[in-house]
Amino acid sequence: MAPYGGIELGGTKCVCAVGDGSEDAWAVTVIPTTDPETTTDLALDWFREVESSSGSFVSLGVASFGPLDLEAGTIARETPKTAWRGWPLRSKFEDALGVPVRVDSDVNGAALAERSWGNAQGCSDLLYITVGTGIGVGAIVNGTVVHGRSHPEMGHMRIPQHPTDCQPGLPEQMWTGNCPFHGTCWEGLASGTARAQRSALWTQSGLEPPDPELLESEYIALGLVNLITAYRPQRIVVGGGVMHDLALLPRARYRTRELLDAGYFPEAGQIEELVVEPGLGDAAGVVGAILMGAELRPGYLQTRPVARLVGQIQAGLAKAGDR
């Protein structure tokens, strides 16, 4: 069977993969996310190389950073990545490869993958959160990926700022946050780029900074509380580069339990089962992209094992990180 293709387009790297559902017919590569022309051309070159050796694939899913214009299949003009504003993802790949292309957010793709093969199997209502370059949330409700006017943008919800998160030497003046649109939204306070900017600010001041782990676990917990109260999901999967700090998820769970009233929300007593790490690790995004492509040409892929694909993607990501 001809393979399905998938692309996870992230802020720093672009993961491309193809597979036909068997255990030994997967291919994967990782390229840097730079300007749109270069990144797209490198991805297309790789897919053409795979096609020349393995045959044409039948469809492609693109799980991308956002915001996205889902109807047009483009990067929205509101994205902080100015070079990518309006970039026509769907038409670029459809025209070049001659296959149908589905575009959705990277976190919606990851939610699909975790429901099919990861730590949310059997769940009809789940959230996938990535805490990395930005913060994004994908949602599946009653078995359906959530879209409204567009995909969810829960990374930009407002949460209370911790009193120690102030300007260096000015405890009465709160830090302004990192988000270019909303300042101190969830992403502006707790994303990897927000953490790096806050750290640089305090380093430059020469003063003792607030505890970064306390701030991060507090902000993740506050976001989790908002999402639990709004969605009441069966499972919340939390991934992304920031969560590679293995101590962070237990701290965030503990604080989430404190913030929820167990007498009102039984989730407070089930937090370890409710809030989990990704079963597919960093491979969830591109595995979800392949699933998105497969849904354009329904077949048997959703029932196939993916251990080899996940292993190859994780090895590719590790190799890319060593460069």
Same domain, 204 and 298: no
DSSP 8-state symbol, 179: B
Same domain, 269 and 128: yes
Same domain, 177 and 157: yes
Please classify residue 266 by burial: count the beta carbons closer than 10 Å to its beta carbon, then call 0-12 exposed, 13-18 middle and 19+ buried: exposed
**Average confidence (pLDDT) over 92-98:** 96
- State the average pLDDT for the chain: 90
Same domain, 193 and 308: no
CATH, residue 267:
3.30.420.40
Domain count within the chain: 2
- What is the band of 90 on the pLDDT scale with cuts at 50, 70, 90? very high
Same domain, 271 and 155: yes
If one counts every other C-beta atom within 10 angstroms of the C-beta of residue 155, the result is 24
**Average confidence (pLDDT) over 55-65:** 90
Q: Minimal CA–CA distance to 317: which of 97, 48, 21, 32? A: 32
Residue 227 has pLDDT above 90, yes or no: yes
CA distance 95 to 93: 5
Same domain, 214 and 261: yes
Same domain, 288 and 307: yes
Quick: pLDDT tens for 166-210.
Answer: 999 999 999 999 998 899 999 999 999 999 999 999 999 999 999
Same domain, 195 and 158: yes
Strands 60-64 vs 101-105: parallel, antiparallel or unpaired = parallel
Same domain, 70 and 127: no
The pTM (predicted TM-score) of the whole model is: 0.90
Residue 19 has pLDDT above 80, yes or no: no
Which residues constitute the domain of residue 221? 119-276
Same domain, 272 and 285: no
C-alpha neighbours within 13 Å on the C-beta side of residue 118: 32
pLDDT value of position 145: 92
Quick: pLDDT tens for 312-323.
Answer: 777 777 776 655
Same domain, 197 and 242: yes
Same domain, 62 and 85: yes
Amino acid at 288: G
pLDDT value of position 299: 57
CA distance 144 to 124: 8
Residue 39 has pLDDT above 90, yes or no: yes
Beta carbons of 305 and 23 less than 8 angstroms apart:
yes
